[in-house]
Structures are given as structure tokens and as C-alpha cells.
Chains A and B, each alone.
Chain A
Amino acid sequence: MSALLEIEDLRVEFRLDTGTVTAVDGVSLHVGEGETLAVVGESGSGKTATALSVLRLNPEPPCVYAGGRIRLDGRDVLGMSAAQLRRVRGNEVAMVFQDPMTSLNPLKRVGAQIAEVVRRHQGAGRAQAREAALAALGEAGIPDPRRRAGQYPHQLSGGLRQRVMIAMALVGRPRVLIADEPTTALDVTVQAQILDLLVDLQRRHGMAIVLITHDLGVVAEVADRVVVMRHGRIVETGDVLDVFERPGQDYTRELLRATPRLERA
């Protein structure tokens, strides 16, 4: 089976006045339908630059895709025209970011923001888009979607805002969901609910998830496979159980050792 999303030897550079920074240096990874791949690393490891590359969302310039290939269902993403990219974004590949407050428009009701996505990407009419938005909010586990749809982002808690972001990401029925630190800004009990929601939605729709995180606990909870990154390169990759129980690299061992774990015995 060929992977739904395949990155091969990707090289991403930021060409700044002060010199060239290689943010991603020869990264290869793949993820298939219904699978969750975690990309873990500390700050500056290149995990976010890798994720943003899939939708060509790194700012160009200063970003230059200096080498490698990204294939989405066999098609070359780095060679796509702006129009082709627009069709991919939000339809085939959607993203959820860490901070829902900065990714939502503070001046628009959340229902209208989701409806706008439906109209723009699926060419739906007003009424149809509104219904789709309500259904998406409900599916994202938001109680009383009709009332919530009429509210503004600041009227919602952090957890509800992240659910709105997930509803917005999934309303286009993407085949790949890229979640960049989706629970980092949330309280721990809310984080657990959001992770459950993602797992549940994946079971229902079979999308591939690329989960960007710094938290090995989150990886252990939800991912099938893991890619460990450092300084723009892949240090180690494999099945989560294998990597956590038999880490092959010192850096992975060091990360695992530094991760605080709760002992309840």
C-alpha cells in the first residue's frame, strides 16, 4: 500500500539577511489512511517547519524548499500551482494549531467562520453551509451547537475553542489532518478530552493524522508511529512501542528520561 502522504528527503531553508538557516535537513516520513504519526522534538527541531511544508505554509520568502519531494496521494505538492494548493488546503489536508484564539477571527461568530470554509471550499449555498457548520460543531463534541454557533471566540473556553478549530478542520472531510501541538495550551483534563475526540473522529472517518508535539506522554497515548526530530533531522523513527521501549539513539533515551512521569504505585 502506498502512503497517503509521503515526504522524501525534504530540505527547507530560511534565507535571512544574516545567513541561511536549514530548518529541515533531509527529512523523510510517511503516513497512511487511519494512521497517526507523531513528530516529536524540542523547540527548534524543525517539526513545525516540516508540518507547514505539507501545505506550503512556511512564508516564502524567506523560506525556500531547497530539496526533496512531498507527495499527497501520489501528487507532487511542492510543484503545485497556487490554484492547485488552494484546492488541497482545507479539502484534502487540514490543520489545527496550538492556539485557537489566534487562529479564529475574533470579530466573527464561530458558526459563520465554519460556514465560510464550507462555502469557499465546497461551493455550498448559505443554508447548506450553515447546516454543515452545525453538524461539524456537534461532531466535535460541542454541546448545544446551535447556541454556540452564534457566539464569538472570546465567549468560549479554551477547550471549546479548540473543538471549534477541529470542527472547522474536519468540515471539509480532509484525508490528512495535521495537528500542531493541538493540546499544549489546554488544561490537562481538557487535553485528555481533545485527544479522545481526535482518536474518535479518526476511527469514524479514517483520516491520517500527523501530530506535532513536544510531549512524549501525548505520543504514547495516541500515536501508532513516531518520528523523533532534532536540529532539522530525524534522529529515530519507528513504531511507538518499539521506540519507547527500545530507543536506538541516545537523544531519544535522553528525551524519555527527561519526560516527567507520574508514579502512582
Chain B
Amino acid sequence: MSLVEVCGLSKVYGTVPAVDDVSLTVEEGETLAVVGESGSGKTTLTRLLLRLLEPSAGTVSFDGRDLFALSRPQLRAVRREMQVVLQDPYSSMNPRMRVTDIVAEPLVTHEPSRRGRRGRKAVRDRVGELLDAVGLSPRVQDRYPHEFSGGQRQRISIARALALRPRLVVLDEPTSALDVSVQAQVLRLLTDLQRELGLTYVFVSHNLAVVQQIADRVAVMRAGRVVELASAATLFPAPAHPYTRTLLDAVPDPDPRRARKRAAA
């Protein structure tokens, strides 16, 4: 059984279908990349996967449970197992909260025993472990988000996403706002964490070169539809859909000889 099964999923705003009859699966332990340009529906799709939006039609099942049929308490239990990391780590953190409280928020939300003074020590220990896992010093717990660089803030977001030991992590353009050298480090961290923790990733990106580094399979979206879904090993050398080819051809090539040859052609 797949971890996530999406079947005939649609989300219509007014008369505009943002997601239009999408079916796909996400297997346990894999990275499925969802790529597309702005307006392609990739972000709406992930909101539906997390049940942050209600669909117009179709179903999403997570580990065999129909997400849209769950009661509130059942949904709460499932939500522990799915977490999200967003593009801009700054706007997804409360600037007045310390790192320790930011990372601990899912813990105290889902585990009431961790709340209050009695839970404090256990929470700090767990946050320390999480910060260590993402390559930050456990000593930064009492600092505020503005004291960190973009890359460090993204590591904090990842630590928070891992706090409840989720099975699925949705990564929505997690490195798009970062400098390339930092992006490379964060991608490596994500790969390492996936291997150590057996995580399943849905990796949303507009950057095909980044997707190639991390994805096992790739879904290409355009105007709400998945136009191509294939393993990365097949899609990059032999794209089947003309739109995938257009996307691949448009990626700037950091090899000036090849880039020039292409421009001359």
C-alpha cells in the first residue's frame, strides 16, 4: 500500500480549476517532486494533501485512511504524521518566540503532558536533539528568529517539522529563498535526514535542476493537471510530454559552452 493515494482530486475556485482531476501515489520512503510554474496548482495540491483545503472532488488517503472522511480527533492524530516546511522560514515563524518554543510548538500542541513547567525540561532536551539533528547547536534555543541567517532559519523549520517524528514531510520550495551554497547544504541535510529517519518527502519546486538532485519520481504540473509523472531516471533524459521538454530546455545551463551552442542553434 502507498503512504499517500490521491484519486481524481480537484479544487475549483469559482470556475477556475486550480487542481484538475489529479491522481497519484506517494510511496513510503521516496521523494516525489511536484514541479510546475506559477499558477500550475502545485501549492494547492499540497494544501489538499495536508487537508488544509477541502477538495471540490476526489479523495486523498493517508496510510489507508480517507483524509476527508476523518473526524476532528482522527484528523488530529493523522496530522502528527504529516508535516510541512515552507519556502520562507521567516514568515512561518513567530518573531517574538524563542527557537525553543518555535521548535517545541508541535510537541506541546499534540502532547499535553509536555505543557507547563513540569514538561519544560523534557521539551528542552528534545528540542536540543532536534537542533543537533539539523546541524545547529542546542545552545541556540534562547535566541529569536531574526538572529539567524536564512539557511539557519530553514534548519529551524526542518527541526520543527521533525519534532513529532512524522512519516510524511511536504517541502514547499524549501530552498528557493536561499543562496546556492546554502541551498546545497540544506538539500544534503534533507537527504541525510530522509535516510536516517525513513522519511517520505513531497518536494514542491519550480527548479528542475534541484529536483533532479533529490527526487525519485517527478510529477510535472501545468494548469492544474499532472501532464507527466515518471521516475527521475526516465524523465530527465527522455521527457515524454512536450511541456516537460519546454521546461527542461528553459533551465539556464551553467556551462557556457553548451549554453552558447544552444543559443546559436
Contacts and interface: CB of A to CB of B under 8 A. Distances in A.
Interface stretch (B14-22, B62-70, B89-97, B242-250): B242-250
Contacts of B236: 262-264
A235 B236 CA distance: 34
Given A221-B263, A260-B207, A189 B247 contact: yes
A151 interface: no
Contacts of A259: 180, 254
Contacts of B208: 188, 262
Nearest to A243: B256
Contacts of A195: 252
B250 A221 contact: no
Contacts of A256: 254
Contacts of B254: 216-217, 219-220, 244, 256, 259, 261
Interface in A16-57: 42-43
Q: Which of B179, B257, B263 has the most CB of A within 10 A?
A: B179
B210 A260 contact: yes
A244 B250 contact: no
Interface string B66-85: 00000000000000000000
Interface in B208-239: 208-210, 212-213, 236-237
B256 A241 contact: yes
A209 to B, nearest CB: 15
B181 A220 contact: no
B63 to A, nearest CB: 32
Contacts of A221: 252-253, 259, 263
Contacts of A180: none
B140 interface: no
B182 to A, nearest CB: 8
A216 B180 CA distance: 10
A256 B180 CA distance: 9
- Chain B contact residues: over half helix, strand or loop, or mixed? helix
Given A188-B208, A261-B209, A262-B208, A215 B252 contact: yes
A95 B42 CA distance: 33
B250 A189 contact: yes
Interface residues of A, number: 35
A244 B246 contact: no
B252 A43 contact: no
A128 to B, nearest CB: 36
A258 B180 contact: yes
A215 B259 CA distance: 14
A98 to B, nearest CB: 13
Nearest to A224: B256
A246 to B, nearest CB: 12
A240 interface: yes
A244 B209 contact: no
A60 interface: no
B152 interface: no
Contact of B37 (A188, A241, A263): A188
B251 A262 contact: yes
A245 B254 CA distance: 10
A255 interface: yes
Contacts of A260: 180, 183-184, 207, 209-210, 212-213
Interface of A: 42-43, 158, 187-192, 195, 199, 214-221, 240-241, 244-245, 254-265
Given A189-B247, A217-B253, A244-B256, 8 more contacts: A43-B150, A43-B179, A189-B37, A191-B252, A221-B263, A260-B212, A262-B253, A264-B248
- Going nearest first, the 5 A-B pairs with the smallest beta carbon separation are A217-B252, A260-B209, A187-B37, A42-B179, A192-B250
7 contacts: A189-B250, A191-B252, A219-B256, A220-B256, A245-B256, A254-B181, A261-B209
